[in-house]
Amino acid sequence: MQQTVVIGAGISGLALAYELQCAGLDTVVLDSASTPGGVIKSENHGGFLVELGPNSTLTKPPVRCLIEKLALENELVLPQDHARKRFLAIKRSPAHPLELCAAPMSMREAALTPILSPLGKARLFFEPFAKAGQGVDESVDSFISRRVGREVTEMIVAPMLAGIWAADLERLSMRSALPLLWSFEKEHGSLLRGAISHFSKKRKESKPKKTRARLASFQTGMSALPQALRRALAPDSVQLNTEVLRIEETAGGICIHCRRPQPWPERLKPHSAPGSDGATTAILAERIVIAVQSPAAARLIEPLSSKLAAALRTIPYAPLGVLHLAYRQHDVQHPLDGFGFLIPPKFKQPLLGAVFSSSLFASRAPDGFHLLTVFSGGAAAPHYADINDERVREQIIRQLNFLIHAKASPQIIAQTYWPQSIPNYPLGHFHLQQAAREFEAQHPAISLLGAWDTGISVADRIDQASKLAASANWQTLNQSKRIARN
């Protein structure tokens, strides 16, 4: 019998398995895919380093700690100095075409920016006096508009959040998606007062500059992280091409029924003989962690709790198109001197925004080329997500050429259509989080982990994995089961 089996070798499952192995627990990770990392996928196409999934992560303390343990510090890459600016697409007047304008990065810049009208700016500075909400949850759109006004929401906050969540903000839960801002209002009655209190507390902790969270990636791209985790795990600990079909609670442990074409390694003796197709077998575990996307988690949980399974199925995932485009530098008139740009969803454009990938990190494109990663669709404009459709692709490229003043069309390096990219927490998501905790209390040998639960970013996933690994009952549960069996 296996001590612990983690289903899903995305960053959540791998980071957890690593922490558990460090704590002395024999752990195996199963994944249906042929490579580890889940949505983290970096590819090198003739010197263009493209990220099909996440472009970067924040080096928050749990991420930094993991990077240090994996001895990956020397592979870390930080943004180039000229990549500080962020651009927003604006219209000088309704008759004007869209153009890129540097986004304000401070209150002083907000006071001077042409992105907002004098009235919009005045409303922003009125934030500390805005009425507090009374509900147990609220949409991000309604909460932010109430606090900082409609114009700031539409022109600055909506594009920034759509860039992270690819969400329709009218349907995204403020309480679950942005819990820190939600708590600022609840505890301080204002975002500004909450932020001042939060950051002054942090400043008192007086972290040395070196340890502050920075945006980062790795020389060979984000895939360096799951690959390093796989290398650090004991041999045979990550079993790929292994789809978990169902799980079953038995007196002897959790029976995990899998489909895998290849035989199991010696140390993972199957619990059952292969099924009639020769590819379906089961292994037995003392404890399992389900670290997969919510639709897959729902399928596995269904026989144990149809109620939680039904709730998991209600989490929408935003469809997203990701296109990697190479331009010859002399064909682009815009200096691309920033992180990238975002387009306010109110303009209803095919493009959500783009990352200037070769400006952000060094060595992402051969000399003489720019590499851009372009995002389209999202929950608010799903019809623009399918970039396998040539007409959608053409519209995207035409608009991009216009915004960055390109004289020639780009070369398409890679493209990915994510029909389900990022979970968008719906209103009342906290009820589902509570139901998940109740399920875990009723089934102590099963834990749930995933971006559908608490936090979508790579940093959130690593943080949640290390919190789960540190939760007290791992050793005790496994020990008590062993004692009972002996």
Ligand X SMILES: Cc1cc2nc3c(=O)[nH]c(=O)nc-3n(C[C@H](O)[C@H](O)[C@H](O)COP(=O)(O)OP(=O)(O)OC[C@H]3O[C@@H](n4cnc5c(N)ncnc54)[C@H](O)[C@@H]3O)c2cc1C
Among 457, 463, 466, 481, binds ligand X (CB under 6 A): 457
Range 140-169, binding ligand X (CB under 6 A): none
Q: Is 448 left (phi over 0), alpha (psi -120 to 50) or beta?
A: beta
Structural tokens at position 227: 């690959």
Distance, in Å, from the CA atom of 347 to the CA atom of 332, rounded to the nearest integer, reads: 24
Is 426 a binder of ligand X (CB under 6 A)? no
By CB under 6 A, is residue 42 in contact with ligand X? no
Helices (H) and strands (E) in the chain, counts: 18, 19
Query: x/- contact string, 99-118, with ligand X (CB under 6 A)?
Result: --------------------
* 30 neighbors 242 (Cβ within 8 angstroms): yes
| CA-closest candidate to residue 244, choices 260, 265, 225 | 260
- Closer residue to ligand X, CB minimum distance, 400 or 406: 400
Q: Which one, 32 or 447, has the nearer CB to ligand X?
A: 32
Answer for which of 406, 456, 462, 469 binds ligand X (CB under 6 A) is 456
- 244, 301, 336, 436: which one binds ligand X (CB under 6 A): 244
Alpha carbon 371 to chain centroid, angstroms: 22
The DSSP-derived string for 298-350 is HHHHTTT-HHHHHHHHT--EEEEEEEEEEEEGGGB-S---SSEEE--GGG--S
Q: Can you tell me which of 5, 11, 155, 354 binds ligand X, judged by CB under 6 A?
A: 11
Which position among 2, 3, 5, 10 is part of the footprint of ligand X (CB under 6 A)? 10
Among 332, 397, 458, 462, binds ligand X (CB under 6 A): 458
The answer to whether the beta carbons of residues 7 and 30 sit under 8 Å apart is yes
| Residue 378 binds ligand X (CB under 6 A) | no
Residue 42 CB, nearest distance to ligand X (Å)?
12
Nearest alpha carbon to residue 232 among 459, 29, 30, 468: 29
Cα–Cα nearest to 353, from 88, 17, 26:
88
Tell the smallest beta-carbon distance from residue 94 to ligand X (Å).
32
Asked if 238 interacts with ligand X (CB under 6 A), we say: no
Query: Using the rule CB under 6 A, is 28 a contact of ligand X?
Result: no
- What is the rounded distance in angstroms from the CA atom of residue 43 to the CA atom of residue 56? 14
Q: Minimum distance between the CB of residue 31 and ligand X, rounded to whole angstroms?
A: 4
Q: Which of 6, 13, 218, 424 binds ligand X (CB under 6 A)?
A: 13
User: What string marks each residue from 306 to 345 as x (binds ligand X by CB under 6 A) or -?
Assistant: --------------x-x-----------------------
Least spacing, CB of residue 312 vs ligand X, in Å: 12
Tell me the residue type at 116: L
Q: Tell me: does residue 469 bind ligand X (CB under 6 A).
A: no
Count of beta carbons in the 10 Å neighbourhood of residue 386 = 18
Rounded CA separation 301/246 (Å): 8
Binding flags for ligand X, 44-63, as an x/- string (CB under 6 A)? ---------xxxxx------
- Cα gap 277→264, rounded to integer Å: 16
Please identify, using beta-carbon distances, which residue of 225 and 336 lies nearer to ligand X: 225
Chosen residue from 1, 25, 26, 33 binding ligand X by CB under 6 A: 33
**Which residue, 67 or 124, is less far from ligand X as judged by CB?**
67
| Residue 443, H or E segment | none
Q: How far is the CB of 58 from ligand X (least distance, A)?
A: 7
How many CB atoms within 10 Å of residue 331?
A: 16
Footprint on this chain of ligand X (rule: CB under 6 A): 7-13, 30-33, 38-40, 53-57, 243-244, 291-293, 296, 320, 322, 418, 421-422, 450-451, 456-459, 461
